[in-house]
Structure formats: C-alpha cells, structure tokens
C-alpha cells in the first residue's frame, strides 16, 4: 500500500567509478548523530546544489535563465565600468587631438568627430609647410637662431 505523498527515486552507483565510490563510502558510513538520516542527507545535498544553480537549466523547458530586475551583479558593474572608461578615454583623446591640431574645429560625436579631426590635422600640416610671408616673422625667426 503506497502513500500518495511519497515518491521513490533509485540511484545506481558503480564502484569502479571514483566519484561513485566516494559517494558510496559517505552514504554507507554517514554520521547519523549529525545527519538525521541518509535520505535526509541526500535531500539536503541535492537541494543545496539546486539552490546554488538558482534553478537554471535543471528543468526541461526552462529556457533562458531569468535575471532579477532589481539586482545588478558584479559582472554587470565591471562591464559598465569598462564601457564608461573606454567612452571617456576616446572622448578625451578626440578633444586633445582637436586642441593640439589647431583647436579651430568643434569635435562632434562619432565618425564626424574623427573626420573633423583629420581635416584639422591636414590643415595644420599644410599650414606648417607653407613659407611665412610676413617680413616681421622672418626677422624674428632669424634673430632666434
């Protein structure tokens, strides 16, 4: 006469397998002064394992693991930190490049900013290759050495 609130699961252990042998040894020599019974020990061990995985991918049809909307993980913070660091670094490089390149252009976002910086760099390079036509400047340059 089976009870309706009890279900049975059988476990087969191969004593040639190291992991199975270790489990058999623990179950056979379980300290019942600490643990209520072998059955309860197995239930506690399996429950602990399930909770550590947060019920992800253990049950058929679980699909995508659900993410708590209220909490942010350390990995999420690290990702946000690295993205922010890269964005700030790129913006500083663009601003410094524009300032060093003549500072005449206002740096825009994205590829337009790069195009403006390249144009400013070309103009600055062209300006540097031209001969100064101002006689006062030529005289000052000659005096410098």
pLDDT tens-digit map of 27-75: 999 988 888 888 999 999 988 888 888 766 777 765 555 555 678 889 9
Q: Quote the percentage of the chain above a pLDDT of 90.
A: 23
Domain residue limits, the chain: 18-52, 98-145
**Residues 95-131, buried b or exposed e (16+ Cβ, 10 A)?**
eebbeebeeebebeeeeebeebbeebbeeeeeeeeee
pLDDT, position 105: 47
pLDDT one-digit tens code per residue, 107-138: 444 555 566 666 666 666 565 555 546 777 77
Q: What does the alpha-carbon distance between residue 79 and residue 94 come to, in Å, rounded to a whole number?
A: 23
**pLDDT in the model for residue 143:** 77
Residue-wise pLDDT for 79-107, tens only, equals 999 999 999 998 888 888 887 876 544 44
Please give the pLDDT value at position 134: 75
DSSP code for 4: T
Whole-prediction pTM value?
Answer: 0.40
């Amino acid at each position: 006469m089976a009870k309706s609130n009890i279900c049975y699961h059988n476990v087969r252990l191969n004593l040639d397998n190291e992991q199975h042998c270790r489990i058999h040894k623990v179950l056979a020599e379980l300290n019942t002064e600490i643990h209520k019974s072998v059955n309860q020990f197995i239930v506690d061990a399996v429950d602990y394992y399930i909770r550590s995985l947060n019920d992800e991918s253990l049950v058929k049809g679980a699909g995508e693991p659900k993410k708590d909307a209220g909490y942010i993980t350390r990995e999420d913070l690290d990702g946000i930190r690295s993205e922010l660091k890269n964005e700030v670094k790129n913006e500083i490089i663009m601003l410094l490049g524009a300032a060093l390149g003549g500072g005449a252009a206002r740096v825009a976002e994205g590829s337009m900013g790069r195009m403006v910086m390249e144009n400013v760099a070309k103009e600055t390079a062209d300006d540097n290759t031209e001969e100064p036509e101002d006689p006062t400047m030529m005289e000052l340059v000659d005096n410098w050495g």
